[in-house]
Amino acid sequence: MLLAGLRAEVGAAEANGGPWCVPYEGNGIPPGSGIPPWGFHATESFKHGVSGSSHGWGDINLNTNWISGKICQTLDGGGRSGRMISVRLGPRILYHSHVAVMWGYPGNVIKAPIKVSSSTDSKCKVGTPGHVTMYTSYNNVKSDSIQFFFGSGCLDGSRLYHGGAQTVNAQVPPL
């Protein structure tokens, strides 16, 4: 099974001090260290037999437009072996709003720069820049989303995770 093999590879790299991601097995927001923290976990089935999972968390200060943290994304299938991309966030927030509307629902949105910090995808090099848009809906609607945008080389990592609490569970703090 590809996922089991990738988990073993990631686990071995983590044990050796590598900057790799440990698969997230929880069902809530991953543990964050900020007050308020941001965090999410997401799974999605994409076109061409590709499935993905992603999780991340970190610190944030909306008063100073500052964010930090780590996001991990694992992609499997689509005629390619499993691959993992780890990115670092920030330090500046590109955009945030407490009155955003996405997918037809009001909520909080944060857009921040990301940079690849490790990758098992030979086409996606360490240092490749991009950005992420994190959205969480209000009033228990649970139409949350996480979207990655990468340039050349990492285009396979440009993915949208969107759905209810079983697919995407996000916490994006208000202003």
- Does any domain span residue 15? no
Question: Quick check: is 46 in a domain?
Answer: yes
Question: Which residues have a Cβ under 8 Å from the Cβ of 164 and sit 6 or more positions away?
Answer: 142, 143, 144
The verdict on residue 7 lying in a domain is no
Could you give the CA distance from residue 139 to residue 93 in angstroms, rounded to a whole number? 25
Q: How confident is the model at residue 16 (pLDDT cuts 50, 70, 90)?
A: very low
pTM: 0.81
Is 6 contained in some domain?
no
Rounded average pLDDT over 119-126: 90
Distance CA 21, CA 13 (A): 9
Number of structural domains, the chain?
Answer: 1
- Give me the domain span that covers residue 70: 30-171
- State the average pLDDT over residues 110-135: 94
At 162, which amino acid appears?
H
**Tens digits of per-residue pLDDT, 36-92?**
578 888 888 898 888 899 989 888 888 999 999 999 999 888 777 788 999 999 999
What pLDDT score was predicted for residue 6? 41
Residue 12 lies in a domain: no
Domain assignment of residue 8, yes or no? no
User: Is residue 13 domain-resident?
Assistant: no
Asked whether residue 96 is assigned to any structural domain, the reply reads yes
Find the largest Cα–Cα distance for the chain.
46
